[in-house]
Structure 1
């Protein structure tokens, strides 16, 4: 573990101070409570836990994956599994309710998506669109089309 710091100050006596650095082996870091406290104060408990896990050889490979790749993987899960995954962390909750994921799910479950359907999904959200039954969707699409048509007529006069 390499921990570097810089002193930033307007005082003249600190202007010439050089950056500090501490290098610790993983084993030494696990025993150095002073350095652990410094990391927790500066970066927070989450980063301290992450560093602890790294030093103990426990890697969270999912944490390292990009959101795009995770969304791609999640899109292949069953709905029950998506619901369970969304309860595991804030990151997964955000991903499991994202419009990007639900757009992928709707596209994979529908033969075609019309421009009217796409516009409605942008209004109500792709997740809502997925869970709305076909009759309700048809009603909402008709209503949206009527509103759009009536706005167009009003603009003509």
Structure 2
């Protein structure tokens, strides 16, 4: 994996849109992995009128109800980013990207391809009996993603 790839992991809804406000930084981010609340904040900053698409989306709905609105709301982020990985709590996660599901992901923003097609792929989460703490779950998940991507 190229060490210059920027993966933005918003750690808080209040910080989610912060790098989008800095001139030039948005085009440097290749990947981002917001949760639903963080995605809403990012969309609200970039294109507030799109927020209406996902304003009422919540994690008590089914993936069938939320997948299309979430994919549509990612369009302004995909103008420069390669891939949006939305974490959805007990539902799992969803990857939204330009291109088909079989197209190779570009490894850097400067390799960005402007595909017409936007695809979303849903990955369900395994059910658990009891959650003790979610602290570090995102770090663990994306660390594993990067490790397997590079090996």
TM-score, normalised to structure 2, is: 0.25
Structure with more relative contact order (C-alpha pairs < 8 Å, separation 6 or more) = 2
| Larger helix share, 1 or 2 | 1
Structure number, greater radius of gyration: 1
